Amino acid sequence: MAQVIQRACLLLQSTCEGYPNVGLDGALRSAFSSYADPILQTLTEKIGDNLQKIRQRADDAYYAAAGHPQFGIKLCLSYLTNDVPAPAKTKNPKGKKPVLTSKQLKAKYELLRKLLESYHFSPDQQVLATKYAVKGIQHTQNDVRVPAYECMCELYRQMGGDEISKYYEGLRQASLDTLLTKFQEIDENQGKPTKQPKK
């Protein structure tokens, strides 16, 4: 089964990279949407898989899909920032609702950082990514917080201090101090001061 998943991810990646300008119109585009949703739902699950090879293949396929016009950043981002896990295949005997593991969340934030570094995000998409990253830096697990902070740093480079400061109100002081320190380091490394975000 693992090999089947890896090959499917590789096929999707190769198709997106090999045919970057293919576009569908009308009925074909509507038909494609019925396939795109389950594909992205599955990829979102597999980037946090227990097997490293599957995680890597799914990550590469997700990245390629985000850069293809038939999927695109908007659709991929909507799945990436949705933390509602896929329905469990078997009923939980204790009646607990399924939740994403820290490994799955870590993979999401790492992929989001890669997308932010590589692709153009519209202002609305930047805001969505910022809100999701702020959620991540408040997580109890450091493995999740670290890539979430990295997302915030990339968003700070793109949006600037004044704009991004609108979206992290209510952070614990320790988290806010860490975030502002990282922003300051970015300014110093760039060698040109920017307006400091509001505390």
Does one domain contain both 156 and 192? Answer: yes
Give residue 17's domain range: 1-80
Residue 192 is part of a domain; what is its CATH number?
Answer: 1.25.10.10
Same domain, yes or no: 63 and 132: no
CA–CA distance, 61 with 54 (Å, rounded to integer): 10
Tokens of 166: 């609108």
* Residues 64 and 10 grouped into a single domain: yes
Q: Based on the fold, state whether residues 73 and 158 are members of the same structural domain.
A: no
**Per-residue model confidence as pLDDT tens digits over 36-60:** 999 999 999 999 999 999 999 999 9
126 and 188 part of one domain:
yes
Question: Distances in Å between the alpha carbon of 6 and those of 25, 45, 151?
Answer: 30, 13, 27
> Could you tell me the end-to-end alpha-carbon distance of the chain, in angstroms, rounded to an integer?
50
**pTM of full prediction above 0.75:** yes
pLDDT tens digits for range 82-139: 987 766 555 555 656 678 899 999 999 999 999 999 999 999 999 999 999 999 999 9
For residues 36 and 125, membership in a common domain is answered with no
Residue 102: both structure tokens together: 């820290």
Q: Which of 6-10, 18-22, 108-112 has the lowest mean pLDDT?
A: 18-22
Q: Which two tokens stand for residue 29?
A: 């585009």
Token pair belonging to 85:
């896990």
Domain count, the chain: 2
